[in-house]
Amino acid sequence: MMNPPVPPSVLQNIFPTAEEDAKLGNTPTAVPQTEHPAYRLAFQDADFLLREDLRPVRFQLELMKPEVLLAEADIHSTFVFYGSARIPSPEEAPALIAAAETPERKAVAARLARNAQYYDVARELAVKVSTFCKDGERCFTVCSGGGPSIMEAANRGAWESGAPSLGMNIVLPHEQVPNPYVTPGLSFQFHYFALRKMHFLMRAKAVAVFPGGFGTFDEFFELLTLVQTGKVAPLPILLYGREFWNRVVNFEALAEEGVIAPDDLKLFHFVETAEEGWAIVKAHYGL
């Protein structure tokens, strides 16, 4: 007969914790051996953890840290917002146009300003989803990339409704500070895009995609691929801005060329307003 497993509490009484040993290990007697980096505890040795061959460990840490903290915060389902970091808020749009110095830049600024309406739409949608509860539990926690523009609008809507929201920031060559509306304890920073994208979708119950550039395209089309191939269960994918998307992507041509199936065009919904998008989500889940 096998012996029963030893309860974790008993193991903790037998062995010192990592925290305890870390304190002891930081105050060794100063001799050549203890002064050498090789003597550091492995989990306290930043130089060791940053080595090229420790990448698998860093992957695991970047997967685990948000996972553990979100579980502790009791956040199990999210409403994800994708979109440009360059679209201004309606209040900022006039200044953006005024600052443009050439006709070409003024034209670009005018197009960005035209999409400023989606800042307010994202903000309004975030309010709606943040305040919805079923059986006393919040069903959708707003999650964005944590940056400015559309991302800021999403976190701002949650903040204005008194709800927590996530920010999944990433290290970029030019510093990107989290927008001020992300809940501080739910603001994460990533090194690996792959792990960041995993965390975007691991708890996602719906995704709203607003006009954006390469980053938004990357996230949106990867999501479509995952649903198309059955790696992610079907979920509401709201594509905001029919005029924008049909100008930059010819979805119908993809089907006509045979590289996607006509039914693949049903994986997402073109929408314009917060009410329209929220109605699709509620219908999908029978809320």
Residue 85, domain member (yes or no): yes
Helix (H, G, I), strand (E, B) or coil at 5: coil
Tell me whether residue 89 is in a domain: yes
Residue 209: domain span: 73-285
* Cα angle for residues 111, 114, 115 (degrees, 5° grid): 95
| Number of domains within the chain | 1
Give Cα 138 to chain centroid, integer Å: 18
- Minimal CA–CA distance to 78: which of 154, 166, 159? 166
- CATH number, domain with residue 278: 3.40.50.450
β-pair partners for 110: none
Classify residue 27: in a domain, yes or no: no
Element (H, E) at 78: strand 78-82
Domain for residue 23, yes or no? Answer: no
Strands (E), 9-59: none
pTM (2 decimals)?
0.89
In tens digits, the chain (287 residues) has pLDDT values of 566 665 666 556 677 787 877 777 777 778 887 888 888 888 888 999 999 999 999 999 999 999 999 999 999 999 999 999 999 998 988 888 888 889 899 899 999 999 999 999 999 999 999 988 776 667 899 999 999 999 999 999 999 999 999 999 999 887 678 999 999 999 999 999 999 999 999 999 999 999 999 999 999 999 999 999 999 999 999 999 999 999 999 999 999 999 999 999 999 999 999 999 999 999 999 98
- Residues near 254 by beta carbon (within 8 Å), at least 6 away in sequence: 260, 264
Establish if 13 belongs to a structural domain: no
Whole-number Å distance between alpha carbons of 17 and 186: 26
Has residue 60 been placed in a domain? Answer: no
- 22, amino acid identity: A
Q: Is residue 216 part of a domain?
A: yes
> Is 277 inside any structural domain?
yes
